[in-house]
Structure 1
Amino acid sequence: MMQKLQRYGGAMFTPVLLFAFSGIVLAITIMLNNPQIVGGIAEEGTTWNSILSILENGAWTVFNQMELFFVIGIALGLAKIANASAVMEAVVVYLTFNYFLSGILEYFGSTFGVDFSQNVGSTSGMKLIAGIKTLDTGIIGAIVISSLTVWLHNKYFEKKLPEWLGIFQGSAYVVILGYFMMIPIAVVVAWVWPIVQSGIGSLQGFLASSGTMGVWFYHLFERALIPTGLHHFIYTPFMFGPAVVEDGIVKYWMGNLGSFAQSTESLKAMFPAGGFGLYGNSKMFAAPGIALAIYFTAKKEIFSQCNRIAELGSTEGSELEIDEHASYIVDLACAIAYDTQERMLLIVENNGAIQNFDPTAMVEVPCIVGANGPEPLVQGTIPRFQKGLMEQQVAVEKLVV
């Protein structure tokens, strides 16, 4: 069960990998299009402003179509066979679901307490997904519908139909089943999701006003679930969904970066929800945690032996044995600390030490060690045969790492 949940979490993470490049481009274009940073060249109407705006719009692709990328990522990661077909089926079924939902709300919206005539965005709870005006179910809806489609795919993709129905086998059969499955699901979502949206709105207000304690609980759960691979379920609705701000913290931050930069007000006051995006700071507790783990799991007599060695400055008479590797590490530390210019054999980046070999490869060569760390000594070139063996080893290492 745990393996299945971890695989599910991994599939959810697939589209997240796309955000890094888009985020970097957005940050750069927004910065270079800020008149307070680059001057009048970035004023609205200038050629510079127009070009940077075009580049910024392109970088918004991943964030503006986030639901579709999660649909694709889930199908790609969870399909047991014919992954490409599963992706196509998931996209078709997800769009079908949204067309059903849109039609239900257009004709029967008042029955479900939804005003379909409202503009998308803001507090309307509506959104345009692939040009379809529908309820904003966010990445949660994308993940659920894609997961159901993958289940259908894994179960029925290879099912054999009578010969005269052969044209409906494979992806066509999965999409047909998905079509009929989406009808009741769309009705249920039209009834339930407005209530969920109301609850999410209340959660936003609660977490935004709960201060440090709310952020603390969020980070606690996110970090605690990392070993299980289920932490994606905690941070995804906050970072990329509407748990605290519309469209998620990442998109909100990028979209308002310019106004944040131009304001003299504190970032905490302007964007209190940003505290949920600082989970990297929680890693500062890793080192004390490791130290405590060592302390509570180590044999207690080891500490008294270490104290004795520290007092005497020698391991003589101690129950602890010092091997060659330990001595070598101490010698290395002393050479750096006291700038002794010790000659030692170390594994370092080649960087020209072996002149006819990859400069970025890690090689074991003689070095002079001082206050600036190890400085490899030039070894010249190596014969073709040895070079071939070493290049093969480096290639394997790069593939593995």
Structure 2
Amino acid sequence: MMKYLQRMGRSLMLPVAVLPAAAILMGIGYWIDPDPSGWGSGNEVAAFLIKAGSAILDHIAILFAVGLALGMSKDKDGSAALSGLVAYLVITTLLSSSSVAMLQGVDVAKVNAAFITIENPFIGIISGIVASIMYNRFSHVKLVDFLAFFSGKRLVPIMSAVAMLFVSLVLLFVWPVVYTWLVTFGTSISKLGFAGAGLYGFFNRLLIPTGLHHALNSVFWFNVAGIDDIGKFWSGKGTKGVTGMYQAGFFPVMMFGLPAAALAMYHTAKTKKKKQVASLMLAAGFASFFTGVTEPMEFVFMFTAPLLYLVHAVLTGLSLAIAAWFHWTAGFSFSAGLIDFVLSSKLPLANAPYMLLVQGLVFAVLYYSIFRFLITKFNLMTPGREETDDLDGASAEAASAASTAKEDKFTAMAAVIYDGLGGDANVTSVDNCVTRLRVEVKDMFAVDQQKIRSTGIPGINIVGTNSIQVIIGPSVQFVADEIEKIRKL
């Protein structure tokens, strides 16, 4: 079950990665014409950019349906993505307010409010899951001769549509109950004000290792329970100083806190290993600061020093609570890095966003001081403090890879990693998310972790008896592509 949920989280990263495009378009548009009384009404260029950006944000549910269907299908085939769209169109049409009113024989005004917001990310996720199941089950089915045209991949969209008829029937009764529960949950957190924001931030970070943080995020960031913090912030339809409270507190952590933690780990590394640790910490810290991608940084200490990760989760919750308490707001479409901070700081609902930078400086001191104290006090095995020679003891193959021309670094890195995983004899499948290689192996004991670590990766995560994750960072796609070439040889 956990593995399946992690695959979902990985697949959702594809549509989520599209959101920065909307941020750039809408951010520039609002920057040109920030008048909240009619954004873009005074400038044609601004209106063009804002509408272009909203075309993405207003259809997140469709992106989720298509992206999840594609990512969860065994072949990553385009017919699976088409099936996700078909499934979404079927259920949102059948459960629209007008259709439900007809089915129940009542006036549209008397239809449960749950069906007014049926075009939401939750329904998109269900559509994508159903479509992927249909693809994995029916994409190779051969029908009798007179129906042969509809065999195989052509059968998948048809079966997805049929399956969604039954799903729609179930949700006709279940969805109002689920909707009410989600609204109640979101409302209960909202009523806690700054404390609720703090609790959300704490559990957001705590769930990162499992990938379940995506489910939590959907309640607060998207229009699943009516909060829709991201959508309302970027569309300017919320409340100034309140909308954005589930986003703002991440900026001090990702732009300042984690880079400061990286500095603390560098300063506490053994002298002979500081040069290697510096390159690792610099890359991870910069990714966190500039883009808000924190996994390369977090996986550095998540499993080697879980105490530090617990502290990180607590500090993240504290940051969200403080920002919400003072009504300092800024937003993001992808993550809380410098790019999104600059783009969102000029939006109508941004409230004293530069105070988040001041807060960030304070959190930099907190992260650095606490991390350095705990590392030295409890002799935590952060990078550069290991008793083994993981960072220094590269094998002959790794040394050869290091001498490869710079333009071939991903080829060399992939070769060493794949060999460390056991090669063709041990690896059964390789996939990747935004920062990690996700690998299935036959025998975990055949994996040479030291050889894999010799490439300078941030870390390794064993998630099951046959499942291993190699943490690489934002450049993971290039390594994955090279491994795929090796497997095809």
TM over 0.5, yes or no?
A: yes
Match for residue 274 of structure 1? Answer: 245
Residue 159 of structure 2 is aligned to residue 177 of structure 1? yes
Match for residue 53 of structure 1? Answer: 47
Q: Is the 8 A contact 1:203 1:244 kept in 2?
A: no
Residue 377 of structure 2 is aligned to residue 295 of structure 1? yes
Shift of 1:229: 2.2
Q: Is the 8 A contact 2:40 2:46 kept in 1?
A: no
The answer to which of 144-153 and 197-206 deviates more is 197-206
Match for residue 397 of structure 2? Answer: none
> Which consecutive unaligned segments of at least 5 residues does structure 1 have?
37-41, 128-134, 261-266, 300-320, 327-385
Residue 89 of structure 2 is aligned to residue 95 of structure 1? yes
Shift of 1:96: 1.7
The answer to which of 276-285 and 230-239 deviates more is 276-285
Shift of 1:87: 0.6
Alignment of 1:54-203 (within 5 A): 54-81=48-75, 83-102=77-96, 104-109=99-104, 116-117=108-109, 124-127=113-116, 135-203=117-185
Match for residue 6 of structure 1? Answer: 6
Q: Is the 8 A contact 1:208 1:273 kept in 2?
A: no
Change (3 A) 1:207 1:292: same
Change (3 A) 1:116 1:9: same
Distance in structure 2 (CA, Å) of the matches to 1:235 and 1:291? 32
DSSP 3-state at the match of 1:274 = coil
Change (3 A) 1:44 1:237: closer
Shift of 1:241: 2.8
Q: Is the 8 A contact 1:159 1:169 kept in 2?
A: yes
Residue 229 of structure 2 is aligned to residue 249 of structure 1? yes
Change (3 A) 1:234 1:205: closer
Change (3 A) 1:162 1:223: same
Residue 223 of structure 2 is aligned to residue 231 of structure 1? no
Q: Is the 8 A contact 2:70 2:77 kept in 1?
A: yes
Q: Is the 8 A contact 1:218 1:276 kept in 2?
A: no
Q: Is the 8 A contact 2:83 2:156 kept in 1?
A: yes
DSSP 3-state at the match of 1:81 = coil
DSSP 3-state at the match of 1:80 = coil
Shift of 1:238: 1.4
Distance in structure 2 (CA, Å) of the matches to 1:44 and 1:15? 26
Larger Rg: 1
Change (3 A) 1:200 1:28: same
Q: Is the 8 A contact 2:197 2:245 kept in 1?
A: no
- Number of residue pairs aligned between Structure 1 and Structure 2: 287
Shift of 1:125: 4.2
Q: Deviations over 1:73-95 (max 9, x none)?
A: 10121111252111111111221
Q: Percent identity?
A: 21
Q: Deviations over 1:364-383 (max 9, x none)?
A: xxxxxxxxxxxxxxxxxxxx
Distance in structure 2 (CA, Å) of the matches to 1:175 and 1:61? 25
Q: Is the 8 A contact 2:229 2:243 kept in 1?
A: no
**Match for 2:229: what amino acid?**
I
Q: Is the 8 A contact 1:219 1:282 kept in 2?
A: no
Q: Is the 8 A contact 1:89 1:171 kept in 2?
A: no
Shift of 1:34: 2.5
Distance in structure 1 (CA, Å) of the matches to 2:27 and 2:157? 40
Residue 111 of structure 2 is aligned to residue 29 of structure 1? no
**Match for 1:59: what amino acid?**
G
**Match for 1:223: what amino acid?**
R
**Match for 2:10: what amino acid?**
G
Change (3 A) 1:281 1:82: closer
Q: Is the 8 A contact 2:222 2:229 kept in 1?
A: yes
Match for residue 218 of structure 1? Answer: 200
Alignment of 1:358-373 (within 5 A): none
**Match for 1:52: what amino acid?**
A
Distance in structure 2 (CA, Å) of the matches to 1:43 and 1:205? 29
Change (3 A) 1:200 1:163: same
Change (3 A) 1:290 1:105: farther
Change (3 A) 1:167 1:291: farther
Distance in structure 1 (CA, Å) of the matches to 2:376 and 2:58? 46
Change (3 A) 1:77 1:33: same
Distance in structure 2 (CA, Å) of the matches to 1:200 and 1:43? 31
Distance in structure 1 (CA, Å) of the matches to 2:18 and 2:222? 13
Distance in structure 1 (CA, Å) of the matches to 2:134 and 2:90? 15
Distance in structure 2 (CA, Å) of the matches to 1:395 and 1:192? 49
Distance in structure 2 (CA, Å) of the matches to 1:290 and 1:141? 45
Structure with greater contact order relative to length (CA < 8 Å, sep ≥ 6): 2
DSSP 3-state at the match of 2:137 = helix
Residue 189 of structure 2 is aligned to residue 207 of structure 1? yes
Distance in structure 2 (CA, Å) of the matches to 1:227 and 1:43? 40
Shift of 1:274: 1.9
Q: Is the 8 A contact 1:25 1:59 kept in 2?
A: yes
Q: Deviations over 1:226-258 (max 9, x none)?
A: 12222211112311233352xx2111101118x
Distance in structure 2 (CA, Å) of the matches to 1:160 and 1:292? 62
Change (3 A) 1:272 1:290: farther
Q: Is the 8 A contact 1:239 1:277 kept in 2?
A: no
Shift of 1:202: 2.9
DSSP 3-state at the match of 2:140 = coil
Shift of 1:393: 4.0
Shift of 1:190: 1.8
> Which consecutive unaligned segments of at least 5 residues does structure 2 have?
258-310, 313-366, 382-386, 393-402, 414-474, 481-489
Shift of 1:293: 5.3
Distance in structure 1 (CA, Å) of the matches to 2:224 and 2:68? 19
